[in-house]
């Protein structure tokens, strides 16, 4: 099991870009593989999760070639050969690794095929709830068995079925559920609709539009007539704001620091973290370069003494993956930060309420745990500690950031999982110690206190 040792830093002046967006890379592999021609996808995230989805599409007939690969686990450019909606039966069960997005979206894809398939994953994925997708898919006529030791959990055996459209009112705000039903809807005769309780990340809707699949969006209701053929297109994946979040918190909480993150996705359903760090006192600007399809641009941030905040209920789905690192920012801020309405955190790669609270306490933070979140009484100095990732990439990275502020060394145990979303994280962690960006590269005026 690999470990990462982190020492405190006293300033951060850097400029870099983060790897491609995980959510968008999964979808690019799926829609590229379904399309009616060849798609070139640049800046595809070459992390374990996304490579598993790409391999899954390959096993369903969609061949791909890597046409460019950068060093240090850098982004890759791919050419995917779309199958014009005609997938072939895989010869073996499909491994989704650690990825809930991969498994749930692929289940939607496979639900309406004329062959049987099986999806499986690692121990963490095999304990995550799949009923949230098997229920609506069953309503559409799918026949999916959950074969896991835990009821309602993977492996999933998906039998050949013909689907009919439904209008599905989602009980949880989940982009994965929305996407699974919409992808299944492509194979149903008639119009499938999904109604979400609150806005969730809209990458599926944007990607459907990029592939010229017509959808109707009325508030939180998304409808799609089945039987449409995604038209092949080239796609550039923006940097992942959830990966940028680690550096944004490091910079926000370090008074006087400056950081420029380039070419990152600025989709408004993903940028709630910027509002939260702004409310806590950091100075942030977003500069959007291109707002067609997936908005992309730069984020510039200046650190400040932070104060606690309350996360709004409607913000939660738009920063759900950033909560562990926001909790670290909260521990470094003065005053209380309230994170509630976030029960979904309990069914992520780990129970992220427990793993965040447990590790914050190990580092000396004062935290109260609730069923749906936590309150962090910030401002207590952090001390280095032995941290367990429990195999959760975002826990490993969030606590590496905490280690930058702690007295004494912080050792994160079990850091292999970082490769599921951010290969190259350790390299960037090392780089921020040495980088010195020229002040003229920044737009925000320097503040002197
Ligand atoms: C994702 C949606 C979110 C998020 C996950 C990626 C997606 O999950 O936590 O990391 O790509 O659709 P839910 O939609 O289930 O909350």
- If one residue of 107, 109, 174, 348 were mutated to test the ligand 1 pocket, choosing by the most ligand atoms within 8 A of its CB, it would be 174
Q: Which atom of ligand 1 is nearest to the CA of 321?
A: 9
- pTM of the entire predicted model: 0.97
Which among 201, 226, 251 is the end of a domain? 226
Tell me if 88 is assigned to some domain. Answer: yes
Atom 11, ligand 1: which residue's CA is nearest? 23
Distance 81 CA to ligand 1 centre (A): 26
One domain for residues 403 and 311: yes
pLDDT computed for residue 70 by the predictor: 78
Q: What's the CA gap between 321 and 273, in Å, rounded?
A: 10
- If one residue of 20, 21, 22, 23 were mutated to test the ligand 1 pocket, choosing by the most ligand atoms within 8 A of its CB, it would be 23
Distance 174 CA to ligand 1 centre (A): 6
Atom 9, ligand 1: which residue's CA is nearest? 321
Tell me if 156 is assigned to some domain. Answer: no
Q: What's the CA gap between 177 and 412, in Å, rounded?
A: 32
One domain for residues 11 and 86: no
Tell me the sheet residues that pair with 95: 120
Give pLDDT tens digits along the chain (449 positions): 899 999 999 989 999 899 999 999 999 999 999 999 999 999 999 999 999 999 999 999 999 999 988 776 667 999 999 999 999 999 999 999 999 999 999 999 999 999 999 999 999 999 999 999 999 999 999 999 999 999 999 999 999 999 999 999 999 999 999 999 999 999 999 999 999 999 999 999 999 999 999 999 999 999 999 999 999 999 999 999 999 999 999 999 999 999 999 999 999 999 999 999 999 999 999 999 988 899 999 999 999 999 999 999 999 999 999 999 999 999 999 999 999 999 999 999 999 999 999 999 999 999 999 999 999 999 999 999 999 999 999 999 999 999 999 999 999 999 999 999 999 999 999 988 876 666 556 666 665 44
One domain for residues 62 and 134: yes
Q: Residue 249 sits in which domain range?
A: 3-19+240-448
Tell me if 234 is assigned to some domain. Answer: no
Element (H, E) at 106: helix 100-110
pLDDT computed for residue 72 by the predictor: 64
Q: Which atom of ligand 1 is nearest to the CA of 320?
A: 9
One domain for residues 10 and 81: no
Distance 305 CA to ligand 1 centre (A): 31
Ramachandran region, residue 273 (left: φ > 0; alpha: ψ -120 to 50; beta: rest): alpha
pLDDT computed for residue 434 by the predictor: 78
One domain for residues 200 and 306: no
pLDDT computed for residue 447 by the predictor: 53
One domain for residues 277 and 184: no
DSSP state of 218: E
Q: The tokens of 299 are what?
A: 């984020």
Contacts of 167 (CB under 8 A, 6+ apart): 192, 193, 194, 195
Tell me if 97 is assigned to some domain. Answer: yes
pLDDT computed for residue 203 by the predictor: 98
Active site residue 321: yes
One domain for residues 39 and 111: yes
pLDDT computed for residue 16 by the predictor: 87
Q: Residue 37 is part of a domain; what is its CATH number?
A: 3.65.10.10
Distance 243 CA to ligand 1 centre (A): 14
One domain for residues 192 and 259: no
What's the domain count of the chain? 2
SS3 of 374-415: EEEEECCCCECCEEECCCCHHHHHHHHHHHCCCECCEEEECC
Strand order in the sheet with 191-195: 167-169, 191-195, 221-225, 216-218
Tell me if 126 is assigned to some domain. Answer: yes
Distance 438 CA to ligand 1 centre (A): 36
Ramachandran region, residue 219 (left: φ > 0; alpha: ψ -120 to 50; beta: rest): left
Q: Which atom of ligand 1 is nearest to the CA of 26?
A: 11
Q: What's the CA gap between 55 and 171, in Å, rounded?
A: 31
Tell me if 133 is assigned to some domain. Answer: yes
- If one residue of 26, 132, 175, 395 were mutated to test the ligand 1 pocket, choosing by the most ligand atoms within 8 A of its CB, it would be 175
Tell me if 208 is assigned to some domain. Answer: yes
Tell me if 233 is assigned to some domain. Answer: no
User: Which candidate in 202, 240, 321, 392 is catalytic?
Assistant: 321
Distance 202 CA to ligand 1 centre (A): 10
One domain for residues 172 and 260: no
Q: Enumerate residues lining ligand 1, CB below 6 A.
A: 23, 101, 174-176, 179, 200-201, 320-321, 344
One domain for residues 403 and 322: yes
One domain for residues 216 and 248: no
DSSP state of 72: T
One domain for residues 245 and 199: no
């Amino acid at each position: 099991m690999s470990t990462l040792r982190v020492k405190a830093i006293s300033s951060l002046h850097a400029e870099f870009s983060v790897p491609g967006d995980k959510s968008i890379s999964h979808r690019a592999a799926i829609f590229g593989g379904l399309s009616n021609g060849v798609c070139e996808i640049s800046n595809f995230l070459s992390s374990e999760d996304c490579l598993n989805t790409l391999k899954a599409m390959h096993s369903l007939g969609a061949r791909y070639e890597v046409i460019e690969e950068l060093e240090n686990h850098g982004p890759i450019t791919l050419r995917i050969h779309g199958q014009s909606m005609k997938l072939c039966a895989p010869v073996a069960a499909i491994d989704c690794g650690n990825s809930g997005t991969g498994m749930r979206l692929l289940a939607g894809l496979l639900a309406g095929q004329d062959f049987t398939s099986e999806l499986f994953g690692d121990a963490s994925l095999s304990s995550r709830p799949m009923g949230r997708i098997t229920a609506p898919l069953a309503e559409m006529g799918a026949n999916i068995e959950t074969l896991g030791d835990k009821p309602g959990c993977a492996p999933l055996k998906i039998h050949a079925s013909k689907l009919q459209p439904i209008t599905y009112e989602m009980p949880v705000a989940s982009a994965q559920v929305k996407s699974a039903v919409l992808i299944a809807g492509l194979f149903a005769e008639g119009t499938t609709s999904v109604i979400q309780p609150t806005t969730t990340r809209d990458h599926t809707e944007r990607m459907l539009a990029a592939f010229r699949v017509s959808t109707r969006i009325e508030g939180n209701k998304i409808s799609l007539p089945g039987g449409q053929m995604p038209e092949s297109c080239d796609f550039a994946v923006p940097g992942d704001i959830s990966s940028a979040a680690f550096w944004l918190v490091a910079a926000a909480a370090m008074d006087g620091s400056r950081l420029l993150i380039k070419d990152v996705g600025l989709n408004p359903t993903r940028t709630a973290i910027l509002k939260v760090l702004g409310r806590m006192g950091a100075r942030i600007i977003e500069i959007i370069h291109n707002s067609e399809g997936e908005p992309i641009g730069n984020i510039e941030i200046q650190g400040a003494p932070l104060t606690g905040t309350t996360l709004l209920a409607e913000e939660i789905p738009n920063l759900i993956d950033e909560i562990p690192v926001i909790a670290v920012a909260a521990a470094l801020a003065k005053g209380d930060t309230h994170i509630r309405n976030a029960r979904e955190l309990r069914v992520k790669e780990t129970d992220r309420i427990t793993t965040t609270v447990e590790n914050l306490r190990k580092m000396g933070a004062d935290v109260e745990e609730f069923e749906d979140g936590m309150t962090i009484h910030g401002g207590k100095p952090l001390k280095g500690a032995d941290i367990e990732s429990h195999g959760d990439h975002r826990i490993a990275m969030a606590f590496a950031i905490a280690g930058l502020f702690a007295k004494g060394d912080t050792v994160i145990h079990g850091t292999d999982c970082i490769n599921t979303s951010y290969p190259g994280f350790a390299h960037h962690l090392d780089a921020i110690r040495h980088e010195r960006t020229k002040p003229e590269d920044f737009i925000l005026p320097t503040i002197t206190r």
